[in-house]
Amino acid sequence: MVFGIRKRIHDHLVERRIRRTRLVTKYGHCNIEFGNVKYGNHFAFLVDFWTTFVEFRWRFVLFFFIASFTLSWFIFGLLWFWIARNNGDLRWQNPSKGHIPCVDNVYNLITAFLFSLETQTSIGYGGRAITPFCSGAVTLIIIQYLIGNIINCFMCGVILAKISIPKKRAKTITFSEMAVICPKKDFLCLMIRVANLRKTLMIGSQIYGKLLRTTIKPDGETIIMDQVNIEFMVDAGKDNLFFVCPLTLYHVIDNTSPFFEVAVDTLHKQEFELVVFLDGTAESTNSACQVRTSFIPLEIMWGYNFLPIISRNKEGKYRVNFSNFSKVVPVATAHCAYCFHNMKGHHLHSTDGIDNGEFEVIDNLEQPNMTKM
């Protein structure tokens, strides 16, 4: 009994380690950190300050937005206070009755700050105005106007760039939570499903994958992140996908596929990560974007196929039923790719598939024996 408990704890810890050490999360974020970066390389972020600002989180962008305007108003307020002080315009300096100030109604620090704010924002209430008798004041108002416009253009550009950043468009493209392995047109295929939640198209869409795993070469060298190309396609090809409705992408498992030696009983014992990429250009904004997701062995179901989700009503309109987007049904599938290609009679070894215990089986009157993801 103690041995069984230890084994369960060990299996649970192994599963958690696999999930935590994945390079790409299900939402496309890369789980990687950089260490021992030379201090001088940090200045490269300051040189490329535009990209640095655009990649800041919203909380920091809003902080810099508020700080840049407030600080510039305060600094120029101090300069206007200094000009008023040098000209003897302040109340505590007791100016004479015939005294001509550089700026009307600027007689302390608060009024100098208010004049700075009104000047840079072009409010112009009319209570405070510059006079033509101080050349220093004329020069300062020109400088403040130019710097104020530069701050306005820069901060508006950063906010506009963050709003229209391509990865926000990528959030409306979703992948199925699980991948499946089953026969398709006389081939054993690994299949995933992807959908564009917007009606606007992704132009020039391309799909491809990378299999990440640790390999040991014959000379003993260990490659921590060995990358193997995985080709995905649809029935019409793999380039320039017509992404108007959800697509089922498939990878043919033949003798050139890295999945050829994987069997139904060894799949979940493997250690690899399948990263899937979809590149395209948004039709509405003409901006290129990339969508990423990943699948680990526990997220690949052997002996299942996706349910159909596209239908046509009586009026001739096409309808997409997203309730079936990630639902699967068990199908007869060979024990391994070698059996599928070389041993006749092994294609229908099972009709139950290999289920993942984390997903519950649900009953549906219209589609029985479905697994909900």
- 185, 234 Cβ separation under 8 angstroms: no
Q: Is the pLDDT of residue 371 over 50?
A: no
Dist CA 200 CA 245 (whole Å): 10
Residue 89 forms part of a structural domain: yes
Span 342-354, average pLDDT: 51
pLDDT at 315: 82
- Please check whether residues 239 and 327 belong to one and the same domain: yes
The closest alpha carbon to 81, from 92, 66, 69, 70, belongs to: 92
Q: Of 113, 141, 163, which residue is a domain's last?
A: 163
* Structure-block tokens of residue 85: 């002080």
| 46 vs 96: which has the higher pLDDT | 96
For the entire predicted model, the pTM comes to 0.69
Residue 92 forms part of a structural domain: yes
| 108 vs 345: which has the higher pLDDT | 108
Span 187-206, average pLDDT: 85
- 222, 287 Cβ separation under 8 angstroms: no
- Please check whether residues 198 and 333 belong to one and the same domain: yes
Torsion angles phi and psi, residue 238, rounded to 5? -120, -10
- Please check whether residues 204 and 158 belong to one and the same domain: no
pLDDT band of 33, cuts 50, 70, 90: confident
pLDDT band of 363, cuts 50, 70, 90: very low
Dist CA 17 CA 11 (whole Å): 10
| 174 vs 40: which has the higher pLDDT | 174
Q: Is the pLDDT of residue 364 over 60?
A: no
- Please check whether residues 154 and 92 belong to one and the same domain: yes
Q: Is the pLDDT of residue 169 over 50?
A: yes
- Please check whether residues 325 and 244 belong to one and the same domain: yes
Instruction: Report the percentage of the chain scoring pLDDT > 70.
Output: 83
Residue linked to tokens 């409010």:
123
Read off the CATH number of the domain in which 222 is found: 2.60.40.1400
Span 173-185, average pLDDT: 89
Residue 20 forms part of a structural domain: no
Residue linked to tokens 């999930």:
19
Read off the CATH number of the domain in which 52 is found: 1.10.287.70
What is the CB neighbour count within 10 angstroms for residue 242? 11
Average pLDDT value for the chain: 81
Q: Which domain holds residue 110?
A: 43-163
Residue 363 forms part of a structural domain: no
Q: Of 130, 163, 196, which residue is a domain's last?
A: 163
